[in-house]
Amino acid sequence: MGDGKERTEDPGEPSSPSRAQVWLRRMARMPWSKDGRKKRRQGSLEDERMARLRTSVDPLQRAATVARETSQLMRDKNKPLPGVPEYMTDVETERRKVRVGEGERRIHVGTSQPEEGYCSNRVVTAKYNLLTFLPRFLFEMFTRAAYLYFLIQAVLSWISVISPFSGVGSTLALVFVLLVAAVKALVEDHKRHEEDRTLNNSVAHVVSEDGKITDKKWEDVKVGEILQVYDEESFPADLLCIYSDLPDDVCFIKTANLDGETNLKIKRPARFAVDVIQRPEELSCLKAELVCEAPNANLHVFHGVLQGESQQQLASNTLPITMNEVLLRGCTLKNSRFIYGVVIYTGGDTRIMRNQAVTPTKVGIFDKFLNVQIVILLIVQFFLCLACSITSYVWAQEEGLNNYYLALDQHVQGNFENGFVYILVFFLTFWILFSYLVPISLFVSMEIVKFWQGLYILMDEEMRDFDTGEPARARNSALNEDLGQVEYVFSDKTGTLTTNDMRLREISIRTDTYGRKDFQLEKFCGNRRENMGMPALQAFDEKLHARLYSTLKDIGEAGPSPQLPDNDDVFEFFICICLCHSLIVEQDPENAEVGIYQGASPDEVALVQAARDIGFEFVQRSSSSVTLSLHGALYTFEVLSMLEFSSERQRMSVIIRWPNGKVKLYCKGSDAIMLGLLAKEEEPLLVKIDDQLLHYSTGGLRTLVFGYREMELEEWEEWDDWYQNAALESDFEAREKEMVECAKMLEQDLRYLGVSAIEDKLQDGVPEAIDCLKQAGMKVWMITGDKKETAINIAISCRLILDREKLLMCLADKKEVAKDVLESLLRQRTSDASGRDFTGIRQELLIDGKTLTFVIGDRALEMVFAQIADGCNGVVVCRSSPKQKAAIVHIMSEYRQQIAAEGSRTRIQAYWRKLFCRLNTLSLAIGDGANDIAMLQAANVGVGIAGKEGRQAVNNADYAFTQFRFLVRLLLVHGQLSQYRIARLIKYSFYKNVAFGCTLFIAQFFSGFSGQALIDSISAAFYNVVFSSVPVLLFAVLDMPLTFETLMHCPQIYNRIKSLSTFTFWKSVLDGILHGAVDFLIPYYGLRNLGVGRNSLNGLYAVGRTSFVALTGTVNLEIALVARHWTWLFGIFTVLSFVLVFPFFIVLEGLYRAFNIPDPAQWGVTQRLFASPAFWLLMCVSISVTFGHRFCWLSTKRIFFPGDQTKLAVMEQAGVLDKAAVSRRLSTLSPRNGHDIAGGVQTNGTMSLVGSSVMELSTSHLPGVRHDDSAV
């Protein structure tokens, strides 16, 4: 780079020399270059300037000092400062006028008048208020197809010309359903209102221009006001920090409410403001204008410039403002006494509110399934109504005219002469009559059931973290049933499979290695001073102890002294660890002798803690220095500059002036970056370094490479001048680019120090959990950004990779190579050279992020990759980016849909196959960091791990807990039970409604297709909402086919049967048709000849009520019959749901008379029916026929064709289930294929509980048959 030539290896490098390259050319001519290291002439002004420059660590904050001195010297000498680029003339200064962009915000700082025209600081997260609740709630409900359907039905039922029912019943049913949903919405919104009220009424301390402090509510805070915030208080708005009461001009904040991280972060007042405000009373001296960007959601970057002229300075001042000086709303001040800040953004403009984006709406598979089946059912209803209306017209023209008493020859309202009008009116009549085919109570029942299932997850003690007490949470209970049908599990590694609790295990200094993986330094020391230092160093490694013993002993005995070992690689390695980080020290309340290191990086905490344990202790950080304790001797190192870590740079550097005056740059980062920054003299070591990195990676350890170089003070000064000028760039994008390029110039020609190897331990139970998921038939993926060797080793440790030698590797550096490798792997995966088929053999695949860049976006390569991966039992993706994680989820979903659509003859057939594939092939993603959010949102189900990387993943997940192993219980127990319960809730709800609708339909054959209803609308509404809804609701909340323990010990039964499929759904519909027909025809033919005149029992409502009572008994016995787990509560409500029908009719008829409702056809019907033995006989016969049909069917199926769930349930009840043996037996069989599990039965001789007859206890079975317990 020093020759200024274009670097062809970097495609992003501009063709013409940049200002940075111009600076490099000038660097080569400096007095301290290779031509001769002469000291630069320094005058008194330069000495004073350098002293001021070193008062801050952050180069951006020192830019204010640079700007002031530049302006002053330009005035005094009419020439630029030494070190400032020569082209920085007045023209260039004019070019640096602030350009923020559209929507810029200009705030006057130091005035007593707040800025107007900005949004209020009042925050409202509640959805409703008194005025908007009703219209907004109704709009939300009726935008859902089902509720709009029921609304139309209710409106039509009030039109007497077409409605066979009174509008009261359907309206009451709809109102009841809406009231339940409204109460639920109000309860949830009330909590939001309480939280908003508490927050908006919190107290903020406003500083007036005369220095007085007045309190006001948060909601009254305005942009431009200066606030005082004390320790443990949250920031009311986004603030620019202008003063901190700490002597080091820093403050500490906790961002847990913002990103979930509990480590303290360092913030500093704006440098310009610190120069003006030395005491709180001097706030009135600050007169400036802040020009900043428009409100946005970026939590990590802030662009702004502070300009102004103070009463203590003559020159104009300009200072770039970054996120280092901004205090965001939602954060809390810690250990800083108090600060002053200027309000930048308020209310909805604050960063925390801008980040409250709505999580993508996810709908459960059963909801999607219902949408499809309801559409089909509505199509059936349409043709059914059309057929009935046409038949009605034909009957009226043929048979009706022969019955003179019907007077159908008189064309009046309801008997239209025009055939089209007649058919249209009667079509609407039958549409209303058959509207009960769709159960209105189902949608409310599903919401209630899913809510309770979410509570079960919350209250599950087996999923509660033992250390923190954090429970598992269902943040989106709408997806509960999806948990029982997962086929793909995409998992992050760090913090998800591992603990994210980093510990230093080994180090390599130059060519020597120290430490061992099985020694735990943290346990040896135990935060006890007596174990730290020499004892810990000797226990860590004898060779390292011998290498450092004399040096550290001399330091400890000599006390504080500038005489430190120079150019000692071992000593420099540990000094680099102690200086090159961004941690702060917090007092431990439980152990005053040892502080707590706080920082955003767990790797840094692990390194600094390990260095402290062996005698190199980081003691204190100030705004311009770092203090170390080297075996008891204190040394202060001056921090000249700090180049912070970023995901793009993948490294961090710090420039330090030692106590002896030497200036050194220390750098650490990933091996992929650091090895390219080493000096040419280090090239002979690269082979050895690669071997060390491979050794550590193979052991599953995370590595960091350390290096340093020594420089003259003049070199740093020259570079710093350029860096400050880059920081003053008013074009924010250009500023970032210039600063990054400046950092690259300094971080080169490094001397290699060594490598640290940090262990990130697997969480408890991870190998067992992954093994269990694989036994359940799920394909598990591990997607990580770590290097290949580390990823492979972790995958082996957690049993994702079983045989490293058979691992399929897909690594390529070009697209053509990637294509060849994938095609070769596909052939290898399919068969060997002899043509043997290998598709049934379980293999594992590894692919890296670089290869994925060639695959993603190429449809053909995506499908080839997906075909290979889909046939593997486990897949590892290393060096991946967040976007690639989400892309992988989409690729596998599209591949399965493409496979499902193969062989389709028409586009419609292909569409339906893809649709049902989406319903049956579900993916789950699990992660703990912000880089996993895209993957969590792309998958059907997203699970967040509440770990050390904050709660951003949790906040964007559907379910959340603290340990990966809890995923097994979430899927095998809660997932299977939720799917089982909701599936039967749906099937039963349609069964009972179709049965009711069938009685109305068959009655039309005996009433000339007149559209007359058998039952009144109120009774019909009570049937749907009361008499048949409570038992199934309790069933869906309490019933379980197997115990929790059995579900956990038998993962092979997971997702082997579809609890709800098109077949089982329409089978339930057919059962409803059959039972509805029986419950109408038996009462009809039994009562047709009973009684004459007013006391007859063959009237419309007599037959209708007999059929209604019989049907109510049938549907309640049905739910009792299919229940696997009876409770007293379920039994009582099942009986009451049927028994209450009798007093209901008596009370209903009494109410008709009391309110003088004219319905003489119903008067006395109830009393005559209840007094007739025929009624009771026909009711019992109807119930016995329908119950007998279902009892015989289920008994035959469960005895002669039992499914796995039935077998296990029988074994549980008999107490002969050996769960360990069952698990072993099932593990030898292919998941999701029919198999016998008799091997799990404890037998005496030849006796077994599983076979062709449960009662005979024989050992025979039906091998190879896929049993479906769901077809009940």
Catalytic residues: 492
Nearest to 101 by CA among 343, 277, 294: 294
Q: Do residues 1167 and 1097 touch, judged by C-beta distance below 8 A? A: no
**What is d(CA 220, CA 470) in angstroms, rounded to the nearest whole number?**
36
Burial class (CB in 10 A: 0-12, 13-18, 19+), 779: buried
Helices of type H across 1155-1227: 1165-1170, 1173-1200, 1204-1214, 1219-1227
> First-to-last CA distance in the chain?
76
With contact defined as beta carbons under 8 Å apart, do 979 and 481 qualify? yes
- Of 340, 121, 327, the C-alpha closest to 230 is 340
**Two structure tokens written together for 1112:** 């109510």
Two tokens, residue 323? 């996120």
String of DSSP letters for 593-639: TS-EEE-S-HHHHHHHHHHHHTTEEEEEE-SSEEEEEETTEEEEEEE
Phi and psi at 931, nearest 5°, equal -75, -5
Q: Measuring CA to CA, how many Å separate 653 from each of 608, 744, 1200?
A: 16, 10, 74
Q: Which long-range contacts (CB under 8 A, 24 or more apart) does 675-682 make?
A: 675/705, 677/651, 677/707, 677/747, 677/748, 677/749, 677/750, 678/707, 678/749, 678/750, 678/751, 678/752, 679/709, 679/749, 679/750, 679/751, 680/749, 681/751, 682/750, 682/751, 682/752
Name which of 376, 218, 235 is nearest 994 in CA terms. 376
Task: Give the type of residue at 520.
Answer: Q
1025 and 444 in contact (C-beta within 8 Å)?
no
From residue 393, give the alpha-carbon distance in Å to each of 163, 404, 420: 17, 16, 10
What number of helices (H) and strands (E) belong to the chain?
A: 45, 33
Q: From residue 654, give the alpha-carbon distance in Å to each of 75, 579, 651, 746, 1163.
A: 34, 7, 11, 11, 95
Residues 125, 189 contacting (CB under 8 angstroms): no
Count other C-beta atoms under 10 Å from residue 78's C-beta.
8
* Residue carrying structure tokens 């508490």: 198
Distance between CA atoms of 225 and 241, rounded to whole angstroms? 12
**Measured distance CA(395)–CA(592) in Å, rounded:** 97
- Rounded CA gap, 383 and 377, in Å? 10
Of 662, 663, 660, give the one whose Cα is nearest residue 563: 660
Residue 765 DSSP label? T
State the helix-helix crossing angle for 365-395 and 145-156, rounded to 10 degrees.
Answer: 30
SS3 203: strand
State how far the Cα of 958 lies from the Cα of 960, in Å rounded to an integer: 7
Query: CA of 875: how far to CAs of 495, 767, 845, 1067, in Å?
Result: 19, 15, 5, 39
Cβ proximity of 433 and 1011 under 8 Å: yes
